[in-house]
């Protein structure tokens, strides 16, 4: 894993991209960084508690660490379409691609809202875009 490119397809090494966030040695500096790390958490599996902890608590009500730790979809790559930040609010539009059971590539296109709480970016909610 050490010399592998990050699963968020940033082109950076995992160790220099999402790993420090997932291992909690550093906090996301931007909504985009947090978004990427959450994609990696879903893609890798095993990071349910990271996902919960980076979710706005009121939005995460009813979510389950064990369930979120499961690698439920075969996520392949991530494209950031646009990003913006105003103070403690951020918006990231992204396209995340996964393979379905037939091996066909499928698209999850979302506009996500992020909010910074005590210096830490959190995922608030997302709208599916077309
Ligand atoms: Zn990454």
Distance between Cα 44 and ligand 1 center (Å): 11
Contact status, residue 20 vs residue 52, Cβ threshold 8 Å: no
In this prediction, residue 2 has a pLDDT band, given cuts at 50, 70 and 90, of: low
For residue range 8-49, what is the model confidence (pLDDT) as tens digits? Answer: 999 999 999 999 999 999 999 999 999 999 999 999 999 999
Cα–Cα distance for residue pair 76/67, rounded to 1 Å: 20
For residue range 104-130, what is the model confidence (pLDDT) as tens digits? Answer: 999 999 999 999 999 999 999 999 997
Domains of the chain, earliest start first: 14-128 (3.10.450.50)
Distance between Cα 32 and ligand 1 center (Å): 10
98 Cβ neighbours under 8 A, 6+ residues apart: 73, 74, 75, 76, 105, 106, 108
């Amino acid at each position: 894993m050490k010399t592998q490119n990050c699963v968020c397809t940033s082109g950076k090494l995992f160790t220099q991209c999402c790993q420090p966030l997932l291992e909690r040695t550093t906090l996301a500096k931007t909504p985009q960084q947090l978004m990427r790390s959450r994609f990696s958490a879903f893609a890798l599996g095993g990071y349910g508690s990271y996902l919960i902890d980076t979710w706005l608590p009121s939005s995460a009500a009813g979510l389950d660490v064990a369930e979120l730790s499961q690698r439920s979809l075969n996520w392949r790559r991530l494209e950031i379409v646009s990003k913006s930040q105003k103070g403690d609010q951020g918006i990231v539009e992204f396209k995340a691609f996964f393979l379905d059971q037939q091996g066909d590539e499928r698209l999850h296109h979302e506009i996500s809202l992020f909010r910074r709480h005590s210096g830490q970016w959190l995922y608030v909610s997302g709208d599916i875009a077309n």
